[in-house]
Amino acid sequence: MAYELILYKIENGVAYITFNRPKALNALNSDLLNELLKALDEIDGDENIRVLVLTGAGEKAFVAGADISELATFNALQAKKFSEKGHQVIGKLQALSIPVIAAVNGFALGGGSEIALACDFIYASENARFGLPEINLGLIPGFGGTQRLPRLVGKNRAKEMIFTGKMLTAKDALEIGLVNRVVAPETLLEETTKTALVMAAKGKVSLRAAKYAVNKGMDVDLETGCRIEIDAFALTMASADAKEGTTAFLEKRPAQFKGCLNE
């Protein structure tokens, strides 16, 4: 499918989705959400893609939230449908079996922060700003922010952000563990790609099993989480990559994982 509101490319096993409405600071309207869902379906069905990177076009924004000009026209039922659509797309993003990095290059507000929160981790440029400003519009976050933010940064920090609508700088976001790294704007994609390529060269089964174990384990008690890890570990032992990885170690050579870039 041809995309108009996102840019989509694949390089060296890494897929890149760029939100591409820079004049509206990449705000999310229904058409953009539909395109994003399509692209995620494509990625889900392509076994050669190892990692996904999300970023925003232009220098000002990752995504400045849901498109307020569209939002303002909704009645409660339309708002419910739009929120459900957002949850569907962002749920799909979180459920991808491959690692996903958000490369946040400017404003990540409202739905933009909520997309970043559904990624496996976030790299931010020094000019990144994070916030859930819906309270300033007489609303609350509607794409998962009230749920994912407290799970990542803790209940009280999340409440402060949601109740005040204040934006965090990249430095603040790093301090509370919302982002993993802060880099100069001009190096953001390069640094993100470096990490993406490190992951892309790992065993496919083990990478997926690791993501599955962490994500599933976070939503259950420790004992159940450990059972999930045991089963996922056993699955990796059955893979050709485990055989290759352990053999390569014993033979004192780099592992050549099947289906990986270094194959």
Please list, in sequence order, all residues whose beta carbon lies within 8 angstroms of the beta carbon of residue 34, skipping any fewer than 6 positions away. Answer: none
Residue 45 tokens read as 């069905």
Q: State which of residues 15, 66, 182, 183 lies at the interface with ligand CO8 (CB under 6 A).
A: 66
Residue 244 tokens read as 């290759």
The SS3 assignment for 139 reads: coil
Binding residues with ligand CO8: total (CB under 6 A):
23
Stretch that binds ligand CO8, among 135-143, 189-197, 210-218, 251-259 (CB under 6 A): 135-143
Draw the binding track, 136-175, toward ligand CO8 (x: CB under 6 A; -: no contact).
-x----xx--------------------------------
Residue 171 tokens read as 């430095």
Q: For the sheet containing 51-56, what is the strand order?
A: 6-11, 14-19, 51-56, 100-104, 121-125, 181-183
**What's the min distance (Å) between Cβ of 151 and ligand CO8?**
18
Stretch that binds ligand CO8, among 37-45, 66-74, 193-201, 242-250 (CB under 6 A): 66-74
Residue with tokens 């390069």: 190
- Calpha distance 3→6 (Å, rounded): 6
Residue with tokens 């599933």: 216
**What's the min distance (Å) between Cβ of 101 and ligand CO8?**
21
End-to-end alpha carbon distance in the chain: 30
**CB nearer to ligand CO8: pick between 40 and 213:** 40
CA distances to 38, 126, 202, 234 from 171, rounded to whole Å, are 34, 7, 30, 40
Q: State which of residues 12, 34, 48, 69 lies at the interface with ligand CO8 (CB under 6 A).
A: 69
67 in Cβ contact with 19 (< 8 Å): no
Residue 170 tokens read as 């990249």
Stretch that binds ligand CO8, among 60-68, 219-227, 229-237, 245-253 (CB under 6 A): 60-68
Residue 130 as a binder of ligand CO8 (CB under 6 A): the answer is no
**CB nearer to ligand CO8: pick between 86 and 203:** 86
Stretch that binds ligand CO8, among 49-57, 65-73, 89-97, 200-208 (CB under 6 A): 65-73
**CB nearer to ligand CO8: pick between 137 and 248:** 137
Draw the binding track, 16-35, toward ligand CO8 (x: CB under 6 A; -: no contact).
--------xx-x--------
Give DSSP secondary structure letters for 62-93.
Answer: EE-SB-HHHHTT--HHHHHHHHHHHHHHHHHH
Using CB under 6 A as the binding rule, the residues of this chain from 94 to 113 that contact ligand CO8 are 107, 109-111
List the Cα angle 181/192/116 in 5-degree steps.
70
Q: Applying CB under 6 A, which residues contact ligand CO8?
A: 24-25, 27, 64-69, 71, 79, 82-83, 86, 107, 109-111, 133-134, 137, 142-143
